Amino acid sequence: MHCFFLAFITVFLVSLLGCFESFKADSLSDNIKELKTQLDSLQRVEMTVNKNRANRYVLTHDSVRAGDGLFQVMARMGISESERRQIVLAIQDSVELSNMRVGQNFHVAQREDGRVEVFRYATNPATIHLLFRNPKTLEFEYRQIEKPLIRRQSVFTGVLENGSTLNGILLKVGVPTRMVGIASGVLQCKIAFKQARAGDRFRLLLEEDFYQDSIWINGFVRYAEFDGHIVGHHEAFRYEDPDPKSTFNAFYTESGEALIFDGLRYPLDRLHITSSFGVRIHPITGKRTMHNGVDYGSPKGSPVYAVAAGSVVTSGYDEFSGNKIAVRHADHSTSWYLHLSARGVSVGAKVNARQMIGRVGSTGRSTGPHLHFGFTNSAGVWINPLSKTMIATPKLEGERFARLKVQAKKIREELRLTEAQKPNLLDKNSSVKVKTRVVK
Ligand SMILES: [Zn+2]
């Protein structure tokens, strides 16, 4: 263990000495802080550093760019093919390599002969994945560093208004921009493809983690409540399984029915149905035909979103559908998006719910800009998209249901404690007041 931390120290000494020019000043000071933190927590590490040894390493830094996979980053950093293979084998079980995001940082320390001694991938400023080459076995050893975070919970309440979008209202009541997509996704699933009305009320309990007080790391909706004239009163509780990767991690009613997380989102920002599912007179041929989807009128170029997570199974063009994209979901149903002016994903890509996949257009057989949105079931039969509101998620039973009941009780208590706070200004640039509580 001493050996690889010695290597780690030498790596950062190289950076301190300024041997690598493109190393940015801010990330350098971050690394010094991080090194100190690690040294504090590992008091047995000796501080003696062999400077001659330090000079034998070259430190390289790069970050994820649009369209990058791990391969592209490692190739830019000059890592050889055999080293790349070793790194992927050593890290793939611990890190979701398909979730790489633009701006995430990589550091690598290589000997002059190119051999990688340390590989460092920061998925966010507080989560560091490190590979050290064990000097005896020459195998990589993996270590994850989680820095301490501050957790805050906040309550937001609002009322739907005529002429405003849900996102607009969420922003108005103080939901931070970074959480608006998540929060509106949860609420929209709750009322997916049904009619919400002006005057309908919602309440959200958000939980966000920060590093060094102000660097946002992640955020969740813990609780969502919707009270609508037509859709009625609904509550959703975020269930957390002991396994953080469990597919049971989702939103449920208090009675354990899966609710929101895998529900369908809207494919557009605004929904204006111009033609419904079923038999109709075709606008171009004039024939009675079966319309196997729903048409939404929308200006050319409007973003089109995947209605649920899945993988892209079609991304192409034909003279009838124009530019088309199909996404297959967890329950083997497939959502279809036709007549696009632009396609933003390729076959095989994994998409998240509400991820933008293309833009509205009028390509193929079409009378004007619109989105034709369709759904096939697992047998490939066209179904009415408006009848499909959820991707099947199992009901919680047994031990999990017992756990949900405990968690729901805790969430209600958190909601009560947060609502009891004195409202504070959201930030110095805002007049919106929000009730917030530090929980960790
Ligand atoms: Zn259509």
Per-residue tens of pLDDT for the chain, all 440 residues: 333 343 444 334 333 332 222 233 344 455 555 555 554 443 333 233 334 444 567 888 999 888 777 888 888 898 888 888 888 888 877 787 766 788 899 999 888 888 898 999 998 889 999 998 988 999 999 999 889 999 999 999 999 888 777 888 999 999 998 888 778 877 775 554 356 778 889 999 999 999 988 888 889 999 999 888 888 888 889 999 887 656 577 788 888 877 644 557 778 877 677 778 887 765 555 667 788 998 988 899 999 999 888 899 999 999 999 999 999 988 788 999 999 999 999 999 999 888 899 999 999 998 889 999 999 988 899 988 877 766 655 578 899 999 999 999 999 999 999 999 999 887 777 788 899 999 87
Q: How far is the CA of 188 from the centre of ligand 1 (A)?
A: 23
Query: What architecture is domain 273-387?
Result: Distorted Sandwich (2.70)
Q: How far is the CA of 223 from the centre of ligand 1 (A)?
A: 36
What CATH number should be reported for the domain whose range is 2-146?
Answer: 3.10.450.350
Q: Give the angle 356-357-359 at the CA atoms, nearest 5°.
A: 90
Residue 378 has which token pair?
């697992």
Record the pTM. 0.57
Q: How far is the CA of 165 from the centre of ligand 1 (A)?
A: 25
Handedness of CA 383, 386, 387, 393 (dihedral sign): positive
Q: How far is the CA of 75 from the centre of ligand 1 (A)?
A: 44
CB 239 within 8 A of CB 179: no
CA distance 18 to 102: 26
Q: How far is the CA of 387 from the centre of ligand 1 (A)?
A: 16
Strands (DSSP E) found in 182-287: 201-211, 215-228, 232-239, 250-252, 273-275, 278-281
Place of tokens 């195998």: 139
Q: How far is the CA of 321 from the centre of ligand 1 (A)?
A: 9
CB 34 within 8 A of CB 41: no
415: three-class secondary structure by DSSP? helix
The CATH class, in words, for 150-261+394-438 is alpha beta
CB 352 within 8 A of CB 331: no
Rg over CA atoms, the chain: 26
Q: How far is the CA of 294 from the centre of ligand 1 (A)?
A: 6
Q: How far is the CA of 151 from the centre of ligand 1 (A)?
A: 46
CA distance 280 to 293: 11
CB 140 within 8 A of CB 134: yes
Q: How far is the CA of 128 from the centre of ligand 1 (A)?
A: 47
Same fold, 2-146 and 273-387: no
CA distance 374 to 353: 16
Domain boundaries, the chain: 2-146, 150-261+394-438, 273-387
Q: How far is the CA of 115 from the centre of ligand 1 (A)?
A: 57
Q: How far is the CA of 275 from the centre of ligand 1 (A)?
A: 7
